[in-house]
Amino acid sequence: MASAKRFLSNPPADCMFHPGEILLGYDLVFGQKAAIIKEPPHPDGASQQMKKWRSPLLGCQNLQYRLEARQPDGSSKLLAEGRPVSLKLGEPPAALFDEGESFAELRPSQAGALVADRLGVAYDDWERSMRRQDARYLDGSPSEPQ
């Protein structure tokens, strides 16, 4: 836990987090210096390649990404791209954290029932899983990774 806290409070200057990442250079994204990081290939041998633009001055936050697939002829095909439409530094509006008068806290089973109803599917399919999630929710344990 201490190493994670240190890492978050003092991220690496080059924003490289994992072994095998390659620093390709730097770019500007909405005026913010961003390290262009090429992630290592996936262990399953997939021919996809991810590049991320991380801002050292913003705690290495990802500002944009590109996912490309290597084609048999050696060229790359863009599969997905994420870019910001704007960037405004500062504290977010307090309204983003307002719970609102119409919001209510729900157990996972209650939320699941609402979702199932709106999707028009039988809630019975999710009921056993929801009971386990309710138990973890009520005792304050983290939920299982999805």
Domain borders along the chain are 8-82, 103-139
Alpha helix positions (H), 22-145: 108-119, 124-139
Q: Which helix (H) or strand (E) holds 35?
A: strand 32-38
List of residues 6+ apart from 77 with CB closer than 8 A = 68, 69, 71
Tokens found for residue 64: 């944009």
pLDDT digits (tens, 9 = 90+) for 19-64: 889 999 999 999 999 999 999 887 776 788 999 999 999 989 999 9
pTM recorded for the entire structure = 0.62
